Every structure is written in C-alpha cells, then in structure tokens.
Chain A
Amino acid sequence: MNEFLHMGGYAAYVWPAYGIATLVLLGLLVATWKGLRNAEATLKALESARPARRRTRNGSNSTGRKAADQTAGTPAEASEG
C-alpha cells in the first residue's frame, strides 16, 4: 500500500493530477446541480403566482402582480450567471 502511494517516487506529481481532475469535475457537478435546483425553485414560485394573477385580472390586478414580483425577487438573483 505504501509503495502504491509512493508511486515510484513520483507521488508529488501523480496524486495532484488525479486530485485536481476530481476537484474540477466534482465542483462543476455540484455547481450545476445547485444552479438547476435554484432555477427550478424560482420557476415554480413564478408559475404558482401566475394563476392567482389570472383570477384577479378583472378585479384588482395589483395584488397578483405584487405576489409574482415578490416570489421573483431573491432566489433567481443567485442562480443567474
């Protein structure tokens, strides 16, 4: 086992190579996953605010619009970019 970790004296080059590849690929996966969940949560909030807007179209329009704007606010800002 020790010999394996030693990599014939090249441990300082072989292991960082595998480590960086792991770090980059896992990091991208996690960032992608978080971004997707963020976007889907925002979308759901926006879509659930829409029917309320439709119902109040003939009445006071402002309440529905307000609700949509509020749900649209914070989570999307983080997920953009």
Chain B
Amino acid sequence: MHRFANPARFLRLSALLLPWCAGATVILTILGLWFSLFSSPPDYQQGETVRIMYIHVPAAWMSLFVYTNMAIAAACGLVWKHPLADLFAKAAAPIGAGFTFVCLVTGSLWGAPMWGTWWVWDARLTSVLILFFLYLGYMALVNAFDDPQRGMKAGNVLLLVGIVNVPIIKFSVDWWNTLHQPASVVRMGGPSIDPSMLTPLLVMAGAFTAYFLSVVMLRVRTEIAQRKIQTLRLSVASGVAGDGAVSDGMQG
C-alpha cells in the first residue's frame, strides 16, 4: 500500500484509471436510469414511489461507504503519516456529504406519500442526519487551522470518533423500533427483494461508486496541486528555492 501513497505515482495511476471510471459512470448511469424508470415494475403496495428507492438506497450505501473509507484513510494518515491518505479524506468529504444529503432529501420525498410525514426523529433518520453533520463538521474542522497539517490531524481524529455512527446506522432498524423498514438487500439469508427491483438498485449503486471514484480522483489531484502551490509559495516567501516539485507534506 505504501507504494501507492506516493503522490507522483498516484498522479500517473489516476490519469490511467480516470477515463475508465468516467466511462463506467456514464454507461452505468444510463443503464441504471433505464432500469429504474422504464424496465422495472411499480411496487404492489407503494406504486410508482418505489422508483425513489433506486436513488435513495444507493445514496445511503454511498454515504456509509465513503465515510468508512475516509475513516480508514484517517487511521492511515494518523499512524503512518501518509500525506495522500489525508488528502483522500479531505477530497472525499464533500462527495460523501452530497450523497448523504441526497439520501436524506429523497427519503423525505418518499416518506411524505408513504408514511404520511416528511420527517420523524426515529433512530435511522436521526443517525443518518448525524452522519451528515459529521461530514460537515469534518470539512469545517480541516479548514479551520492556519496550518493544514494540524487541521488534517484534528479532522482525522473526528473521523475515527465518528465511525461508531456507521454500525449504529446499519443496525438502527434492528435495535430500535423505527418507522424505517429493515434491510432487504444486505441481510442474513440473502436479499428479500425481487430481481426486477434488485437489478436497477445494484446498477445504480455501481454508477454511484464509479462516480465517486472519478470525482475523488479529480479532487485528490486538485489537493496535490494545492500542496505544491503551498510549498512553492513558502519557498518563494522564505527566499529558499527548495525542491518543492512534489510536495509530500512529511515535514509536519
């Protein structure tokens, strides 16, 4: 893993992978929209509102997936001081927050006609709202320090503390009596959902994952460029022409 933590190597690798991820995003999105809007049946109880699920559930999965990845990166950043791990967490945060926001809003739009309410303070909904605030809190914290290294460190600690929320979200529908329905895809004994609805769900999840990979690679590239800019500025300011071509941020 250390081999891929080198910023220069990451730039080369991401330039290679980016077109494939972008292509997969486009193809899977078109396929996913076709499946979820045209070639899947309405639910026998929920009618056409079930089509909201094909956005809502993949977005919810992504909100947890992105956060878990950020927390793993935070651990690597704290333990091995990998600059790229810090940059990954910082780059992924707005995307994760975006997915969580989509999850909350589409859930509300689904709840209004089916539950008769836009929002309830039950365990699942509240814990996902906390996840959204964790994303926002992390983004605010990382940018709150003059020294980016200190901001990253504080943000990483927040990410690791916040990871307790992930299993709480996952099992909230089992542990507490909630209005939200229990899991029907990722559960013991296999999915209890019909294949005609499972297909659009999985294709959309694939599209969201490819989207995340593409955008996060672009954002990490941006962060690396920002680091180089910072190093160059510092070297200019201090009058020392340091070899800051590849800023690795290891000094801090």
Q: A10-B47, A28-B94, A46-B233 are in contact. Are A16 and B222 (CB under 8 A)?
A: no
Q: A33-B218, A36-B218 are in contact. Are A17 and B105 (CB under 8 A)?
A: yes
With a cutoff of 8 Å between Cβ atoms, the chain B residues found around residue A43 in the complex are 225, 228-229, 232
Which of A14, A47, A69, A72 has the most chain B CB atoms closer than 10 A to its own CB? A14
Quick one: which of B112, B113, B233 contacts A72, CB cutoff 8 A? B233
With a cutoff of 8 Å between Cβ atoms, the chain A residues found around residue B95 in the complex are 28
Which of A21, A50, A61 has the most chain B CB atoms closer than 10 A to its own CB? A21
Residues of B89-143 contacting chain A, CB below 8 A: 94-95, 98, 101-102, 105-106, 109-110, 112-113, 143
Residues of A13-48 contacting chain B, CB below 8 A: 13-14, 16-18, 20-21, 24-25, 27-29, 32-33, 35-36, 39-40, 42-43, 46-47
Complex interface bits, B28-70 against A, C-beta within 8 A gives 1, otherwise 0: 0000000001000010000111011001100100000000000
B241 sits at the interface (CB 8 A): yes
Residues of A47-64 contacting chain B, CB below 8 A: 47, 50, 53-54, 57, 61
- What bracket does the count of chain B residues touching chain A fall in? 35 or more
CB distance from B200 to the nearest CB of A (A): 12
Number of residues in A with C-beta < 8 Å to the partner?
40
Q: Residues of B at under 8 Å CB distance from A? A: 37, 42, 47-49, 51-52, 55-56, 59, 94-95, 98, 101-102, 105-106, 109-110, 112-113, 143, 211, 215, 218-219, 221-222, 225-226, 228-229, 232-233, 236, 239, 241, 245
A-B contact pairs, 23 of them (CB 8 A): A8-B42, A8-B48, A9-B47, A13-B49, A14-B49, A14-B51, A17-B109, A17-B110, A18-B37, A25-B98, A25-B102, A28-B95, A29-B215, A35-B219, A35-B222, A36-B225, A39-B226, A42-B225, A43-B232, A57-B241, A65-B239, A68-B236, A76-B229
